[in-house]
Amino acid sequence: MSADRPVVSLEDVRIEFTKSQLFGLAQDERITAVNDVSLDIYENDVVALVGESGCGKTTLGKTAIGLNRPVGGSVEYRGQDVFETKDRSGIPSGLLGGGDFEHSFSEIRRSLQIIHQDPESSLDANDTVEGILAEPLKRWQPELDRRDRRERIYAFLDYVGMVPPKDFADRYPHEMSGGQQQRIALIRALLMEPDLILADEAISALDVSLRVDMMDLMIDLQEAVNTSYLFITHDISTARYMAERADGRIGVMYLGEIVEIGPVEEVTHNPQHPYTKALLWATPDMGSNEALGRTQRLEDAPLRRLDIPDLENPPSGCYFHTRCPEARTVCTEHAPKPTPVGETHEVSCFRARDDHDYWESEELSEDAEMEISDRR
């Protein structure tokens, strides 16, 4: 996979928000939501991004599909800068700033789709299922006539088990369950023939019994239509199920950084980062509806502290040191960089290197931790 050219490539992406954007306040202090993150997503890839609420995973996901402009780093679609294309789209070739691109911005937007946590809010309440699903076909495949569109829509409805298709095609969004609405949102995204779908907590609002079905359906359809998923969740058992079904990767995010990423087997059976270990420790046997529905008890996990540091005032050195049971003095002074621990497995922790100064550094006592914390 790594030898292939990525469909989407993020390099050293930094996203900042002002306080006024986040809280509607007058101050314009900047808060870093995503901190120099690099991530490549390939054809037919699945990356399940997991982390606690507020860790920046949705912000990163929206950046990957061109909805958030980074203040630093770059986002490329098939080797072409997404935001440069956006800025220069509409300027005729030959004029200053204009240029010919292999991929137009509208093509990039079509290729990078999203399905949200709440499908009802993204479906037109005043249109029928057939009307909603016909829209992308009218726009992107104008050569299809009404009968062709209907045939395609009915085939998708049939595939996802919404039968008989005519019954569902005539319904309005409010006449369907949450699971059915999410299937319509998925079909709509797939009708764009996307290269990547950002599934942003797309199964979180579903009944536990429907979550596995929805993930199975997403994977089945991925194989049928050749797309990739950036699958965002706060639940590592869900991330694991999705990545395992697709032979994909898990990325673990903490305070705006991907602290560990790798093949699902590696990350779940050979976790390297203390935060990944804590997440897994708090997770029951996975792969069943029961497991997917159980409440995570990260508060019981082996952590120095429970409270998540404030993004406005992040810890010095390694952002995880205030909670890390393995933290040493060097961790309060320097930030670890992503370090390979396998062919496609990376971790941001000093412990990944046998020759790092970490091993000579003093262990961090509770008192030292409190002093550091008080000084901030």
Stretch in the footprint of ligand SF4 (CB under 6 A) among 9-17, 153-161, 179-187, 346-354: 346-354
Stretch in the footprint of ligand SF4 (CB under 6 A) among 1-9, 65-73, 103-111, 349-357: 349-357
Q: Taking CB under 6 A as the criterion, which residues in 153-212 touch ligand SF4?
A: none
Distance CA 282, CA 7 (A): 34
Q: Residue 39 — φ and ψ, nearest 5°?
A: -160, 130
CB of 322 to ligand SF4, least distance (A): 8
Helix axes 236-246, 208-225, angle to 10 degrees: 30
CB of 361 to ligand SF4, least distance (A): 9
Residues with Cβ within 8 Å of residue 145, at least 6 apart in sequence: none
Stretch in the footprint of ligand SF4 (CB under 6 A) among 71-79, 136-144, 184-192, 344-352: 344-352
Q: Which is nearer to ligand SF4, 249 or 351 (CB)?
A: 351
Q: Which is nearer to ligand SF4, 273 or 345 (CB)?
A: 273
CA 209: distance to chain centroid?
Answer: 23
Residue 240 interacts with ligand SF4 (CB under 6 A): yes or no: no
Partnered with residue 252 across adjacent β-strands are 50, 260
Q: Which is nearer to ligand SF4, 345 or 351 (CB)?
A: 351
Q: Which is nearer to ligand SF4, 227 or 332 (CB)?
A: 332
Instruction: Identify the CA nearest to 8 among candidates 74, 49, 86, 64.
Output: 64
Q: Which is nearer to ligand SF4, 121 or 373 (CB)?
A: 373
| 228 neighbors 46 (Cβ within 8 angstroms) | yes
Q: Residue 80 — φ and ψ, nearest 5°?
A: -115, 130
Which tokens belong to 147?
């009968």
Q: Which is nearer to ligand SF4, 65 or 278 (CB)?
A: 278
Coil/strand/helix, residue 159:
helix
Q: Which is nearer to ligand SF4, 252 or 318 (CB)?
A: 318
Instruction: Determine the size of the site formed for ligand SF4 (CB under 6 A).
Output: 13
Q: Which is nearer to ligand SF4, 119 or 274 (CB)?
A: 274
Residue 351 interacts with ligand SF4 (CB under 6 A): yes or no: yes
Q: From residue 240, give the alpha-carbon distance in Å to each of 35, 125, 133, 258.
A: 24, 34, 31, 16
CB of 277 to ligand SF4, least distance (A): 10
* Binding string, residues 287-326; x marks residues near ligand SF4 by CB under 6 A: -------------------------------x-xx--x-x
User: Which ranges constitute the DSSP H helices of the chain?
Assistant: 19-23, 57-64, 82-88, 105-111, 119-122, 129-140, 146-159, 165-169, 178-191, 208-225, 236-246, 264-269, 274-281, 289-293, 329-333, 366-375
Instruction: Pick from 8, 336, 369, 372 the residue near ligand SF4 by CB under 6 A.
Output: 336
CB of 357 to ligand SF4, least distance (A): 11
Which tokens belong to 370?
């409190």
Residue 331 interacts with ligand SF4 (CB under 6 A): yes or no: yes
Angle (CA) 18-348-282 rounded to 5° is 90
Instruction: Pick from 162, 219, 349, 372 the residue near ligand SF4 by CB under 6 A.
Output: 349
Percent helix / strand / coil, the chain, rounded to 5: 40, 20, 40
Dihedral of CA 265/270/273/277: which sign?
positive
CB of 256 to ligand SF4, least distance (A): 14
Residue 65 interacts with ligand SF4 (CB under 6 A): yes or no: no
Dihedral of CA 114/115/119/125: which sign?
positive
Stretch in the footprint of ligand SF4 (CB under 6 A) among 58-66, 152-160, 230-238, 348-356: 348-356
Residue 327 interacts with ligand SF4 (CB under 6 A): yes or no: yes
Residue 274 interacts with ligand SF4 (CB under 6 A): yes or no: yes
CB of 323 to ligand SF4, least distance (A): 8
**Binding site residues, ligand SF4, CB under 6 A:** 273-274, 318, 320-321, 324, 326-327, 331, 336, 349-351
